[in-house]
Amino acid sequence: MTDDDDIIKQTTKLLVVGNTLQRKFSYCSREVKIELFRSHCYSIYCNSLWSRYKVATMNRLKVCHSDILKRLLGLPRGCSSSLAFARNGVNNLDVIRRHSVFSLRSRVELSTNSIITSVSQSSAYVCGPIQQR
């Protein structure tokens, strides 16, 4: 069982959102476009749970994420994605995923719920893919 299907669904959703943003807000200022990107392209649901996937599937999502930012800001396709993210103060997909995983781990470890506590103390959680990151 892999997470590829879910990643593909999120890639499709991200493409739809990106095309909508580009179409409806092409005449807005750069600052507005960056805020729209942050609010609509940072929330990739359940990404902190993904642990088994093909590298190619994740790379497609990363390319999609960076292409949306470049298209929204009117940057050429060949320009550096990392430079585009850095110059505009926007997190790339790797940073967003790292924050999501850290947030999930923190919430699980601080939870007082008895079910979550028993799961977090089990060997499946301690030796599982979330702890290995």
Q: What is the pLDDT of residues 99-124, one digit of tens each?
A: 999 998 899 889 999 998 888 887 77
Q: What is the pLDDT of residues 28-66, one digit of tens each?
A: 999 999 999 999 999 898 898 898 899 999 999 999 999
Predicted pLDDT of residue 132: 59
Domain limits of the chain? Answer: 4-132
Q: Which residue has the tokens 């993904």?
A: 50
Predicted pLDDT of residue 131: 59
Q: Is the pLDDT of residue 133 over 60?
A: no
pTM for the predicted model, two decimal places: 0.86
Q: How many CB atoms lie within 10 A of CB 97?
A: 19
Q: Which residue has the tokens 């940072």?
A: 42
Hey, what are 118's tokens?
A: 């028993």
